[in-house]
Every structure is written in C-alpha cells, then in structure tokens.
Structure 1
Amino acid sequence: MPDTLDDFPARYARTRRFTLGAPASVTVSPDGRRVLFLRSAAGDDPHTLLWLHQDGRERPLTADGPDRPALPPVTGYATDRQARLAAVAADGELWAVPISDERPRRLKVPGPVRDPRPSPDGSHIAYVSGGALRLVRADGSGDRALAEPEGPDVAYGLPEYAATASIGRTRGYWWAPGGSALLVARVDSCEVALRHISDPVHPERVPRPQRYPAAGTANARVTLHVISIDGGKVPVRLPKVAAPVPDAAGPWRDGAFEYLVAADWTDAGPVATVQSRDQRTVQVLAVDPADGQTTVLHTATDPYWVQVPPGLPLVRRDLLVLPAVVNDVRTLRITAGDAEPVTAPDGLQVRAVQGADGGRVWFTASRDPWETHVWSYAPAEGFRRLTDLPGEHTATAAGGTVVLDSRTPEGRTVTLLREPSGPPRAEATAPAPAALPIAVTTHPYGITARPELLELGPDRLAARLHLPSWHQAGDDRLPVLLSPYGGPGMQVVTRAAGWPWEVCQWFAEQGFAVLAVDGRGTPGRGVAWQRTVWGDRIRPAVEDQVTALHYAAKHCPALDTAQVAIRGWSYGGYLAAGAVLHRPDVFHAAVAGAAPADQTQYDTYWQERYLGHPEITPETYRRSSLIPYADRLRRPLLLVHGVEDDNVHLLHTLRLSAALLATGRQHSVLPLAGTGHINNRPGTADTLLWLELDFLRRSLGVRSAADGTKHGTERGQLQPQRS
C-alpha cells in the first residue's frame, strides 16, 4: 500500500473505484464444474478479460498469448446452456469463445454488435446490430436478419431507455429452451422526445441523439413477438389496460400497460411481466408461442406502486416464485409443484432472486437494513441462510456450486462453495499472474476505514461516522461533512466496506468528521418507509440529514455543528443542493454533482412513481425541484456535472445555474469534459476529490493540515491505516 493519503485519489481513479481486478458477471455451468466471470488482469488494468475457473484452477480465455489472439476489452458475454461456448462483444466485434483449448474466433458480421447470446445448444449466436436482431452460426457462416427495424426509431432485441435506467431490465430477447425460436421485444421510440448530447470540447463532432422519456411525456411502445429461426413471427397479445386500483394515492390514474418489467422463456414456456403507466398494477403472463395468446398467472396491485424485486417473477414448470407484501415487508411467495404456497420467514425483506437450481430457490434478503444475506429454499429443507459474516452477500449457483460474493467490514471476497446442502466448504482458486484471485479481493488499494455505525433519532436513521485516525479526545472540534446518497435507489450505510467508506475516510483524514446517513425512502426498511417520500422527494430527505446531524453531535461532542458541509452525486448531489437551499441555518456549504434539479426533466418510470404526472400533480414536481428555490441560496455552492451525462442531463445544472444568476446568487459551476454520469476516469475523478476538498475548506474557513492543525502533520505526511 502506498505510504501517504495524497496517493488515495489517484488510486481511487486508477482502479475505477477499486473495481478493477475483481470478478463480475459470474456464470456457473449446470453441472457446477465451470465458472466463468469477467475480470481485468490486475487491479489497475482496465482491460477486461473473460476467465474460466475449472478443476481448482483459473485461466483467461481472452488474454494475450502465443496461442491466442488479443481481444479488445470484453464488455459483455453470454453462454450456451452447458456453458461450453461464450459469445463475447468486444469493441463492437462479435467473438465466439469455446470453453476449451480452442482459440477464440472473431465472426465477421455487421457491427457494432450488441448483446450476443448463443442458442441453448451452442449452434447459433443471436445478436443485435443496427436495430436488427440477427443470427449467425457459431462457425461464422449463414449470417442473416431475423427481424429488421421498420424505421429509424425501431429496434428489435434491445431494451428501451426506461428499462435499463430505471426498471432494471437489461435484455431485449430470450431463447426458447430448444433453440428453435426467441421471445423478442420490439421497441418503437418514434414518439419519445429527442434530445442531443454534444461534446463542446469537440464542436466539429455531430451531437449524439437520444430518445429520452421525461416525466409526463410519451414512452417507447414495447411489444413482444415470438420469432422462429426459420423466419416465422407471431405477435404476443399483451393486455392493454388494467382495472382501476381502489384507494389509489393522489389524483393521477393511468392503467395503460406501457412497461415490460421482465420476460423469460423457460421449460414452462414464454413469460412476460407488464406494469401499468401509473405502476399500481403488475400482471405476470404465460404466453402461448403458437398464437401469442396470454394467460394471467398473477396480478398484483398497490395504491402507491408495485415494486418487483430483481429476478422476479421466476417461473418454471414445477415452480412459481412471485413478489408479495406481507405486514409491510417485501417478501416472496413460492409455490413448488402442488404444494401450498410458502412465504419467506417473517420480517425478511427480500432484495433479489438469483435463480433456481434443481428445485432450490436462491435469493438475498435482510432482517435489518445493515446486512443482506444469501438464502435458499427447497421443499425438503425449508428456508436456510448460507452466509453469516456481517455485510452484503450475493450468490450465483448451479449444479451444487455456489459462487459467493461478499462485502464485509474487512473488504470484499469472492468464494467458490461446493455442496451447499451440507456444511459449506470454501475453495479458494489459484491466483492468476498479477491478478486478484477469485477468492481473495480484500482491500486491494484502499484506506482501512473503521467507521462507527449508529442509529440516530426517533426513526433510528442508519448512519456511518468517520473520524480522523489521529483525532483524540480533547482535540479541537471537527468541521462536519455529510456524504449521503439518501434516495430510493440504494443504501450507502451498511456493514459492507467499499469505496464509499474509503472516500469518507479520506475526507476524515483531512480534518473532517464525516457522516453518511440513509434517510426516509431508502431500501431495506419496509414498504411504509419507502412511501414516506411520495409526493415530496427533497424535504423529508433533507430533514433526515438534519436530524441525524444533531443526534450525532449529541453522541460525539467532537462534531462542530457551526461548520457543516454536504457533498453528493446524482440523488446525493440533489440532496446536497437541496440542503443549502432549504436549510441554510444548518448547512454552510455544498458540493452537488450531477444533481437532477428540474424534476420534470427526469425519466417517466422513476419520477412518476413518486410524483405522479406533472400535468395533473404539478405541485409535487415544483415542491421537489430545486430551481423554484434558487433565490434562497446564501451559502457557497459548487455545481459539478459531466458534460456528456445521458442520465441526468447537463440541462439540470445549467437551468439551476441560470436561475441562481437571475436572482443574483453567487455560486460555482464545474463542467467535466468527456465525462458522463459515472465519474471514475483518471485525471478527473481524482482531481475532483482535491477540488472538492479545497472548496469545502475555503467555504468553511477550515485550515488544511499544512496550516498546522492540532495533529501537527502536513499534506503528504498523513499516514493511512494499514489494511
């Protein structure tokens, strides 16, 4: 580990937030003998490779070498049913990668290639190019289009924007188990508003068009088709409109089934899950591939919104796993064969379903928001928890093999387990040269953070408190920096270490008490907790940060509440800007990155869930936006935004800045050239940490370490704790 904290920002950026060199996208073969995953060769190498673990050893399938061509970085892959052939998309090219000693083959097909997927028997590979779903034999012959777009705004086999950005569906087609046909989504975006994303650094380049469905505007029209490999095409007859939901919250109603939440084709046949525009009704449908008729397997309604956890529904010939809500808990209902349905144990909040293997269902769940564990259910055994260590765990399982991905207070490990029905036996794989092995990826480059985990205030808000390692009782009080996310999309306060811990600790070592808080609306605490932000996405979140700050100061007298700043990105940036606008009496400076300042300009699925329709409930959008309150600013505010952000567009920061200027409010704007919504590039992510630190110190009037603060060190001499 490097010797100074000055090195941390560079390591943070160079390792892409400490994700390089760590396994991702794990696939386990049905017999459990082969495990495939993506990983770069080292923790500072951005070139992603496809790896194979087999017989206790692992090797790269797409690496440089005398017997193998060098593939471009692998951005995605899929395998046939037995995991003996992988289809790889690399730099827009299609590669067939045998899981053997054969060399990968580049298939000469039209590009750029997206989402290639082998047929179950490995004889063909389907892929998307130019909006067409195409098919090629695994040897590269016989390339042809199965479905071609009827216009420039039509695509077959790809998810629409709302699916990838907010719903969580990343696929647009699914093979039939026999390989003779596919269930294919057709997306028509012609009515979706057109935006253009430009690169002002290169004005000679044509702006990139994007169909973006902002709140209250038209969604893409998504239909399903059964397409056989011999060219036949059967449209799926999806339902049009849901019945009204009694006691629906708010005045807006729209029962049109506009969203395809999930789809699959298993041994039970094709299955589709659709949701109404107002998100209050979800239907799970069985599809007859012969004529496209559908049968309703399950209907769920909710007066606010129906939330479908990832991996659900799971439909097999003798197994049906559906989402359910019982006593304010998001759970699941399992029906195996002719047995009576069972639900997860009381109080267990289901986070996601990983799949089913031999009649056993694998899922992740929490009894409290601090930890997420791996569970399984089998009729003969009932419910069983596999993981014990505190933290967050996920798993991929097949054929008696479980690949367990664990983030604990000690860091991250990826472990291969055999025979999960008996006592688990961990098998660590052999490390590849200069690589992080699949089983040991603990804190490769980070600071060792040991935050105090707290429950603050009447609502027992989950919080992490980071103090400088050098701070002792009796030292000067510390300025406070809040570093939340705070939104419905994710938690940052758990017992799982990761880059949020380490970034907070880095700021702490610079002389701050850093507090991260998960407030109302965040996941893991039940349905009612998530509903508390319905109709107002900003003020409850701000008030929770205020409450947590005051209770933390009572708990730890070292916190100086006369010097309080807040920083964040995306929703966290929105929360940071909202904090100085709504509570300048508490917050004295803010850094707001990629903040969605105008709530009418974010996407339909995410915004309408919480705020309704902007034409019917305009007050919820005004109340939740930042721009109407620009005249309230009287604290230093730094707005940061990636110029090429296609999620939270630059227009948000520019419109907020314009409103601030119009009311005479001083502020700073930092545009990040060549940067999108995820800011992890070397030269940008690292420099931004230093710029934030400088801005916060100047805004709060805080001396740097070089100015001779009580711990008596200088910049470049603060020693990180050893991992």
Structure 2
Amino acid sequence: MATEIPPDLSEVVTSGTTGQISSFCPQSWRSLHQNVIERRKLITMLASRVPGSFHFRTQTTPNDTKTRLYFLGMTSKGRENTLLYVDLPSTTPEVASVLPQWPLLESFSASLPTSQLSREEQLMRERKRMGTYGITSYELIEWQGKFVFPASNSLYTCVDVDITTTDPVYPVNIGTRVEGARLDPKVCPTNTQLLAFINQSDIWVTNLENGEECRLTFTKKGSGNLEEEPLSAGVPSFVVQEEFDRYTSYWWSPAPLQGHDPDISDQSDSSYCLLYEEVDEGDVEILNIFSPSVEGRNVDQYRYPRAGTPNAKSVLKLVKFSLGPSGKFGQVQHYQLYEPLLTFFPWMEYMVRAGWTPDAKHVYAELLDREQKHLSVVLIPVDFFVPVQNFGDEDMNVDSVRKTVPSLSVIYEENSDIWVNTHDILHFLPHSVPTEVKFLWASEKSGFRHLYRVKSKLESCDKQLCAMDLLEEGQDGHCKANVIQEEMLTSGDWEVNGKQIWVDEEREIVYFIGLKDNVLETHLYAVSYTRPSEPVRLTALGYSHSVSFNSDCLSFVSVYSSVSETTSCAVYRILHDNGPIRTRTWGIIMPPIACPDYHAPELFCYQSDSGFVHHGLFFHPHGEEGGKKYPTVLMVYGGPQVQQVTNSFKGIRFLRHHALASNGYAVVVIDGRGSCGRGLKFESHIKDRLGTVEIEDQIEGLQFLSSAGFCVDMDRVGIHGWSYGGYLSLLGIAQRPDVFKVGIAGAPVVNWQLYDTGYTERYLNVPSRNEAGYRQGSVLSHVDKFPDEENRILIIHGLIDENVHFHHTSALITALVKACKPYRLQIYPNERHGIRNHEASEHYKTMILSFLQNHL
C-alpha cells in the first residue's frame, strides 16, 4: 500500500527541477539555492517521518490483553521527534491495516537550536552522527509504563498508566541542583525510582520519589582546566566513542551483588551498585581549536591522541550506596580492582566493551591491544573488587584490605593477522556449573563475521605468566582462554551484522541481522543455538530491514525500504506452531509514500579486475535524453567501516546526490575494496597502504559505466566526498588529474599522523613501524602533482571540527602555498565535522552546485 505525497507539498517540490539546467542554462546563485530548498523539502518529507526506538508494552485487563507499541517519530505537523504510539490489535488479522498513530505527550516541545545545546551534548551528537532533534532517546520501564528521557537541556519522566485509553500523558521535569547538562540517564533495574546520570564527567544519582540527589564520583574539581583535571568517570574517551562505538561508561548492577565477600555482597533491597570506567587522559595531548562560538574565549581545548602518541588509560571501579527508609542516600563506598588489569594484560591498550553478567556475580571486559590484532574477553568476579578505605588516598595499601581474592578468567580470545573488528554481540546463557560459562559470540576467524556458541572453563589467570611480553616472538605464556566447546551457528561467504542479536532462551533461538541472501540487503534470520541448521529468513527480499524485538522475542518491528521505494514500517508476530518458524503481519505503522517527483537511483554491479564483484549506485540526471553524455560527479567515501551501496532508501544522507541529479548531473557511488560488509579479505585491501589503491577502484567503476552505455561524460568528471571521502577527493585530483576535472574535498584528512590512534593505527600501524605507509598515504606527499589550473580544487571545512580538526586543512594550505598551487577554500566558522546548522547546510549544497556549474 502506498500513500500519495500531500498536494500542498507536491506543488512545491515538482516546480523548477527540469533536468539539464546546469549543462545548458547557467543558473543564478538564488536559483540554485531555491533548487536546494525544493529538493530538501522533498527528501525530508520522504525521510523525516521514519519511526525508530521501538518498545512494546502489554497490559492484561479482566476482559482482554492490550499491546501498545511506543516509538520516536514526528507528528504530521511537527518538525522534531516526540514519543508516539500505536495500539496493536488483540488478535493478528488476516489482512493487516494501517494503524493510527497517537502522540503520547500533551503539549510538549523539546525543540532547541544546536547553538543552545551544551558543549557536551553537541559532542555527543557528533560522536553518534545524530541528525534529529527533539526527543532523541528514552528509557521505558515496561511493567510500570514509566518513561525517562532527556530533552531541552533537561530530564523528564512520565507514566502511561492505562493503555486501554488514549488520554495524553503529562511529562514532569526532573528537578536538579547541578549545573550544566545531565547526560546518559539510566534507571536502576532493581529500583525504578533511582536515576543515574552524568554531569560534568562525574556520576550522580537522583531519587525520583523525593528529588534527593547524590554525587557518586569526584574526578572533577570544577576548575574546567584540562591539564589540572585529566580524570573522568562514566564517560568514554574520545577514541572509544569515535572509533569503537561505545558511548557509555557506567552500568547498573542488574541484581543485588552475588559475591562471597560480605563487604561487597548484599541481599538487602536498600543497597545498590554501579560498575564504571574511570578514564585518565593525563598523557593525552591537548588540542587547541579556534572557536568563535565559545563565549568569553576564542580557543576551545580537547584531549586528542594523534597516531603514535599516548592514549587514555582506563580502570574499572564499583560504587555502592544505600538508600534509607525515608528515601535519603546513605553511605557511599568505592571499590577498585585488587590488581590492575595491566598486571595481567600488559598489552592492553583499549577497553572496548564492559558490563555485568545477568546474575551480577561477575563483570566482563573486552580488552584490545594497540595493534588491534588481539582481543581477550575477561570475566572478573565481584570479589576481585576491594573497598577503597580512604577514597582518593593514592597511597593506600590494598594488600592490607584483602589477603586472598578470587582471580579473573579469560573466557575467549580473538587473534588476527589483519585486525579485530569490535562488535556488540555477547550474550551470556544460563548455566548450572559454577566453574563454567556459556555465551553467544561473533567472530571473523573464518574471514566473515559469524555466530558461535561457546562454553569456557573459569580458570584463574596467573599474573606472572600474564606479565610476559606478548609481542616478543616465541613467548606463549600469557593467560589463555580455556574454551571447552565452540560451535559455529552460521557459516558462508556472508556476514552477520555486529550491532545486535536477540535471544529467545525458552526456545533456544537466536535472531540476527545478516547479508546471507544479498550483500546489499540486511535481513532478519533465526537459528537454533543448540541444534544449529540453515538460518531461516523472516523478512521479505527486495528490501533492507532494520528490526526491533519485544522482550519475549515473539514480536518484532521492521523498518524497511529499497532504492526505489521509500521507508515503510510494520509489526510482525512470530509463529512457532504447525511447522517451521514463520511470521504474520500484525499491523502497519507506516506505508511507503508514492511520489512522482522522486527519482530513484539504479543499482549496478560489475566484475572487477581485482576478482571481486563491485557494486554501485547510479543517479540518472533528471530529464535525461538518450544518447547524450552528462557531466558526472563521483560521490566518494571509499574507506573502511562504511557500506554506501545498499538496496535501501538513503533519505537525507544522500540529499546532495538528489540535488545534483535534479540539476542535470549523473551521480555515481561505488563501494570499492576496503569498504565493509564483504568480509575481511575485501576490507583489508587497504591494510598498511591507505590512499594508494582506492582511487583505481573508483575509476574502474566509472569506466565500466561509460562502456556499458550509461550517460557518463568521461571528459567532465568531478569527485566529491567528506571525511575519508574528502581525503580521496584530494588524492583523486592529484593522482588522476586526467580523469577528474575538479575535486571537492570536505573535512579531509591530509596527514594520517594528525588523525587519532584508534582508527589510524588499525589500518596503518603506528608511524614508527610503517613510515612508508604514512608517507605515501599523506596528501602532503602529492602536493606537487596538484594541477596548476585554477578552480579545480575546492576545500571545505568546519572551523571547530574536533574530529578531523582544521589543522589538516591548515597544513594542506601551507603546502599548496609553498608549491604555488591554486585552490579555493570555504570555511564554516561554527560547524564541527558534520554541518548541522540548517542555513550552513543549504549554503554548502548551493556552493557545490555553483562550483560545479561554473567549472565542470
């Protein structure tokens, strides 16, 4: 089922986009700007209503059982995310219908311009690549119907008491006495009146019942001086957030602590515990960035570890506190590891994941070495944490506190000659033997990421053996995982997505997202983890799916789309009776939108000389006439960890592509070797040689299109990309000026020695071990090859970019001036790595159209 585009908007977006305007009839800046506005309205309308962050809630009444599905989305007249819901039918219908959506909150606005967000919130949005506004996350306590969410620089709570009615819910502001943003809020699973949050890099907890607050950690003294205050609690380092996709550093205990030590074990209902990471950035370089947007000063400071320089150090700690009968906070006790993890794992550089086991008897940590070729999953008994008698006294003698402690265990190891890609798949399974542990895990040891069921023995680590140097050839005495049994649940030349799995322990089934049927489409699959067989696909071919499950794994939501069909959303029931597992549609939340003015790109593929099949997207110029060649723009990313070419509707992310096509350009996107989703062999093509091989894959794709009859004009090809794509845009115009007439580089990396450790060293090693790779992969090594003609290079950069900081562009400009090479530069003073401001985004897209119109 498809709905038509609203008539009022249809009249706007179908005007003024006639096709090959840029080729034959140059437009004014205002005309180009208007075109950008029109195209943005169209794509925004098609993409902005997409729901997300789903939670099911079922409520039983004397007469019926009701299920309500909550999610984040926009109302028909809204421009920001809010909480919405649909009520699902009591029985699964034979023919599913579109369900009416209702706003949950009464008269609530969460709108705040980016400039009014705190610095911490702005940086969090950058790390998460967040483009939406309003309510962007929430936590639901399902059995109570209680919500907690951040919005408008505040925290709010509300309760949806009765899901049999459609009465609106009124949110209540959670008051506070702290100054500044309260981030990363989390409700205590054993007492939903307790809410923890981060404020100025320390952990606080508030009692929602009486408004009492308690500061749990004291790493910051309030000076705001990075040099004087290098510690933080509950906040991951920049590299862990940016390169390992972990955005939190504290975790509530899921149950009362179950250790043997009476000091730490507590069965009472009034004692609570959090695990947290304390980060020490004292050795990390401080980066100064000119920041005209920072009030009262012109320079902002960040801790930023360049390749080859020291990283932040991490330690795990516990904090335990009590709650009195009156709801007031009692004694706060801190615990630290009896022995530092570095004692056992001297090779440890990054703590990429951490958390609790479901029974709260252990915490786990995933430790990665600096080369990112070795990872250990470590299980730490809660008794391994000992109380800090005088918190903050660095001279305290831990040995005086405890003489005998249980040791930690390594339960799994990953080793790779290429690199270990981190993921979020670790699920502990029920087990009855106290000396063993069972869990589900994902590994790329076969060359593709697949699922495994693992049973390991809990064996004590010997710190003397662990202290032996892992990097020294021939040493093999370090703590090893004693894996008793390991069974592969999936296999083949395809990948399991590493973001999430869903486990039905009652039926012993694991659900996962994978690329089994089509490398361009993500689908939901099910496989038994006790009797593995061929995985069963549960979603329809021809689309890419993103799913969310309910708590018993009997229902799920799929948000799906294709290149030719805009995003849809539906709810499904999983049926286990009468034969193989199957699904039935429960209800439709959002049908696709039929829009005559939307021009879908075309998927293409070809057999590369590399031996792989390469995939691409081709956006035909609007108004294309048969037999004509059109100016062509190669929109490039070309780096690792990204798969641009998929059978899905890209929405706002590809707005530039649609704007170019509507102005008469052919637009090309190609995933060459080095991109993800195709296994380690395909991805590792760029190992130790970034920037030396990617451009040839892109050119091969252009040549294929030209020879295959696509309307590519090989005499008028421009290359444009952002971040890694900006880097390749510069290399493209330097390495192959005969192919690329112009290059537009957005926020480009120009020298890998200026970029961060976690990303750069994964692919290039440390600079001292790969001097040739760093030198050959640097744009600065190719400056003499840049063209001498004017208007062939345009560089774009946000001045307060804290990821690919402006030092990159500054170094490039210095080299271009020294070599007397022409260039053009566009700066956005108040933008970071992504251009978030609406006006700046429109200016940027208009400028691209103008530059290409005049010079391509």
Shared fold (TM-score greater than 0.5)?
Answer: yes
Shift of 1:548: 1.2
Q: Residues of 1 paired with 2:681 and 2:703: CA distance?
A: 24
Of 421, 426, 433, the match for 1:313: 426
Of 94, 108, 116, the match for 2:175: 108
Q: Residues of 2 paired with 1:48 and 1:91: CA distance?
A: 12
In the other structure, the counterpart of 1:448 is 599
In the other structure, the counterpart of 1:391 is 543
Of 321, 326, 340, the match for 1:229: 321
Deviations 1:342-385 (A, max 9, x none): 32132231122423343232221113532221222334685321
In the other structure, the counterpart of 1:3 is 14
Shift of 1:672: 1.4
Shift of 1:16: 6.5
In the other structure, the counterpart of 1:185 is 277
- Note if contact 1:371-1:495 (Cα within 8 Å) is conserved in structure 2: yes
Deviations 1:381-435 (A, max 9, x none): 8532111232322211122221212232212122221235454222345xxxxxx
Instruction: Report how many aligned residue pairs link the two structures.
Output: 675
Of 41, 50, 56, the match for 2:75: 41
- The DSSP-based 3-state class of the residue aligned with 1:542 is helix
- Note if contact 2:637-2:724 (Cα within 8 Å) is conserved in structure 1: yes
Between 189-198 and 96-105, the greater mean CA deviation after superposition: 96-105
Q: Residues of 2 paired with 1:481 and 1:688: CA distance?
A: 16
Pairwise mapping of residues 543-692 of structure 1 onto structure 2 (< 5 A)?
A: 543-556=696-709, 558-634=711-787, 636-692=792-848
Of 320, 327, 349, the match for 1:258: 349
Q: Residues of 2 paired with 1:266 and 1:30: CA distance?
A: 27
In the other structure, the counterpart of 2:412 is 298
1:212 aligns with 2:314: no
Shift of 1:640: 0.5
In the other structure, the counterpart of 2:358 is 267
In the other structure, the counterpart of 1:288 is 381
Pairwise mapping of residues 321-360 of structure 1 onto structure 2 (< 5 A)?
A: 321-335=440-454, 341-359=487-505, 360=509
Between 275-284 and 25-34, the greater mean CA deviation after superposition: 25-34
In the other structure, the counterpart of 1:720 is none
Distance 1:143 1:535, change over 3 A: same
Q: Residues of 2 paired with 1:575 and 1:70: CA distance?
A: 39
Structure 1 residue runs of 5 or longer lacking an equivalent are 244-254, 430-437, 701-723
Distance 1:483 1:94, change over 3 A: same
- Note if contact 1:468-1:505 (Cα within 8 Å) is conserved in structure 2: no
In the other structure, the counterpart of 1:427 is 586
Q: Which amino acid aligns with 1:78?
A: E
- Note if contact 1:643-1:650 (Cα within 8 Å) is conserved in structure 2: yes
1:64 aligns with 2:216: no
Deviations 1:624-683 (A, max 9, x none): 111221121106010011122221111211211221111000010000132222224322
Q: Residues of 2 paired with 1:532 and 1:222: CA distance?
A: 32
Distance 1:375 1:289, change over 3 A: same
Q: Residues of 1 paired with 2:686 and 2:308: CA distance?
A: 19
- Note if contact 1:391-1:494 (Cα within 8 Å) is conserved in structure 2: no
1:87 aligns with 2:148: yes
RMSD: 2.9
- Note if contact 1:79-1:86 (Cα within 8 Å) is conserved in structure 2: yes
- Note if contact 1:126-1:135 (Cα within 8 Å) is conserved in structure 2: yes
Structure 2 residue runs of 5 or longer lacking an equivalent are 1-9, 18-31, 60-65, 90-99, 113-133, 162-167, 222-228, 257-271, 323-331, 386-406, 432-437, 457-483
- The DSSP-based 3-state class of the residue aligned with 2:700 is helix
Q: Residues of 2 paired with 1:75 and 1:649: CA distance?
A: 26
Q: Residues of 1 paired with 2:544 and 2:680: CA distance?
A: 21
1:142 aligns with 2:212: yes
Q: Residues of 2 paired with 1:185 and 1:312: CA distance?
A: 20
Deviations 1:513-547 (A, max 9, x none): 22111111100111111111011111211111111
Of 360, 364, 369, the match for 2:519: 369
In the other structure, the counterpart of 2:558 is 404
Q: Which amino acid aligns with 1:412?
A: T
Distance 1:657 1:306, change over 3 A: same
- The DSSP-based 3-state class of the residue aligned with 2:693 is helix
Q: Residues of 2 paired with 1:346 and 1:503: CA distance?
A: 36
Q: Residues of 2 paired with 1:346 and 1:287: CA distance?
A: 34
- Note if contact 1:487-1:522 (Cα within 8 Å) is conserved in structure 2: yes
Pairwise mapping of residues 23-34 of structure 1 onto structure 2 (< 5 A)?
A: 23-28=51-56, 33-34=67-68
Q: Which amino acid aligns with 1:376?
A: A
Between 286-295 and 649-658, the greater mean CA deviation after superposition: 286-295
Between 374-383 and 400-409, the greater mean CA deviation after superposition: 374-383
TM-score by length of 2: 0.74
Distance 1:405 1:659, change over 3 A: same
Distance 1:11 1:273, change over 3 A: farther
Q: Residues of 2 paired with 1:8 and 1:21: CA distance?
A: 22
Bigger CA radius of gyration:
2
Distance 1:55 1:428, change over 3 A: closer
- The DSSP-based 3-state class of the residue aligned with 2:342 is coil
Pairwise mapping of residues 434-513 of structure 1 onto structure 2 (< 5 A)?
A: 438-440=589-591, 442=593, 447-458=598-609, 459-474=612-627, 476-499=628-651, 503-513=656-666
Q: Residues of 2 paired with 1:228 and 1:11: CA distance?
A: 56
Q: Which amino acid aligns with 1:362?
A: Y
- Note if contact 2:292-2:830 (Cα within 8 Å) is conserved in structure 1: no
Identity of aligned residues (%): 23
Shift of 1:30: 8.8
Of 230, 239, 246, the match for 1:162: 239
- Note if contact 1:18-1:43 (Cα within 8 Å) is conserved in structure 2: no
Q: Residues of 2 paired with 1:199 and 1:225: CA distance?
A: 35
Q: Which amino acid aligns with 2:173?
A: R
Q: Which amino acid aligns with 1:217?
A: T
In the other structure, the counterpart of 1:171 is 248
Shift of 1:183: 1.6
- The DSSP-based 3-state class of the residue aligned with 2:367 is strand
Distance 1:262 1:557, change over 3 A: closer
Deviations 1:309-365 (A, max 9, x none): 3x2222243551212235422212124999962321322311224233432322211
- Note if contact 1:36-1:53 (Cα within 8 Å) is conserved in structure 2: yes
Shift of 1:555: 0.9
- Note if contact 2:150-2:156 (Cα within 8 Å) is conserved in structure 1: yes
TM-score by length of 1: 0.87
- Note if contact 2:241-2:247 (Cα within 8 Å) is conserved in structure 1: yes
- The DSSP-based 3-state class of the residue aligned with 2:686 is coil
